[in-house]
Amino acid sequence: MQPVRQLAHILEALAVEGEGLFALSDLRGALPNLGPAAFRVLVSRAEKQGLLQRICRSLYWYPCARGLEPGLLLYRAAARLRADEFIYISLESALSDAGVISQIPVHWVTLMSSGRSHIMDCGRFGHIEFVHTRRRPETLAEELTYDPRCQLWRASVRLAIKDMRLTRRNTDLIDWEAIDEFV
């Protein structure tokens, strides 16, 4: 069987409902008999044929996977990229979802992270902005709720406002009257 077909069968078997993100290491483990050069060529061919779509830095999406909403793709990618760190949805993303920002950030998600600050370009999918925080999860536990759709923790409106102020972000877009019902 041709390697691209073999990869297609593997991806179909691995793509469970609501998933479909694969790191290169995941794919590499599924095809251990290929050498490094042959593996790179295979991934390149799979991408050209539309079997895989590159999200960012060694993270690919299998678009035939069912159930993964395109709006959640950046959140799921962020969870995957920073799986070893404490991250949560905050800042403009959390405030926009709560309806207290007058503009909705399109193709841009903002998260607080115990890792370094970084804006990750995900091509046509958008950007993931990680903003460093030194705060510990146990000190924020009461202000966080788990969002199973995004597979990430989500800040309360109160915490998102605190994060905006601590990181000196522009608060001009915040509807302060709408904040009153959350605080």
What rounded mean pLDDT belongs to the chain?
Answer: 89
Q: Are residues 37 and 91 in the same domain?
A: no
pLDDT digits (tens, 9 = 90+) for 73-110: 999 999 999 999 999 999 999 999 988 887 777 899 99
User: Are residues 87 and 39 part of one domain?
Assistant: no
Hey, how many other C-beta atoms are within 10 angstroms of the C-beta on 15? 20
Together in a domain, 53 and 85: no
Kindly state whether residues 16 and 57 are assigned to the same domain. Answer: yes
Does the structure show a pLDDT above 80 at 179?
no
pLDDT at position 93, please? Answer: 94
User: Of the candidates 42, 61, 80, which is a domain's last residue?
Assistant: 61
Domain stops at, among 37, 61, 85: 61
In this prediction, residues 151-159 reach a mean pLDDT of: 95
Please state the φ and ψ torsions of residue 120, each to the nearest 5 degrees.
-100, 120
User: Is the domain of 97 the same as that of 50?
Assistant: no
Indicate the pLDDT class of residue 157, thresholds 50, 70 and 90. Answer: very high
Examine the domain organization and report whether 149 and 172 are in the same domain: yes
Domain final residue, candidates 61, 79, 100:
61
Looking at the predicted structure, is the pLDDT value of residue 162 above 80?
Answer: yes
pLDDT exceeds 80 at position 17 = no
Q: How is the chain split among helix, strand and coil, in percent rounded to 5?
A: 40, 20, 35
- Is the same domain home to 104 and 157? yes
- CATH number reported for the structural domain that contains residue 18 in this entry: 1.10.10.10
pLDDT at residue 70 greater than cutoff 90: no
Sheet containing 21-23, strands listed edge to edge, beginning at the edge strand earlier in sequence: 21-23, 59-61, 53-56
Task: Say whether both 42 and 82 belong to one domain.
Answer: no
Which of 70, 45, 79 is CA-nearest to residue 150? 79
pLDDT for 152 equals 96
> Is 172 exposed, middle or buried, given 0-12, 13-18 or 19+ CB atoms closer than 10 A?
exposed
Residues 153, 144: Cα–Cα separation, whole Å = 6
DSSP H stretches of helix in the chain: 3-14, 24-30, 36-48, 73-81, 91-98, 137-140, 157-166, 176-179
Q: At what angle do helices 91-98 and 157-166 cross, to 10 degrees?
A: 150
Q: Is the pLDDT of residue 18 over 80?
A: no
Q: Which residues share a beta bridge with 60?
A: 22, 54
Q: Are residues 84 and 132 in the same domain?
A: yes
Our count of domains for the chain comes to 2
Residues 79 and 166 grouped into a single domain: yes
What's the domain range around 38?
3-61
Does residue 74 sit in the same domain as residue 125?
yes
User: CB of 20 within 8 A of CB of 62?
Assistant: yes
Identify whether residues 51 and 122 lie together within a single domain.
no
Q: How far apart are CA 64 and CA 52, in angstroms?
A: 9
> 130: which strand partners?
111, 118
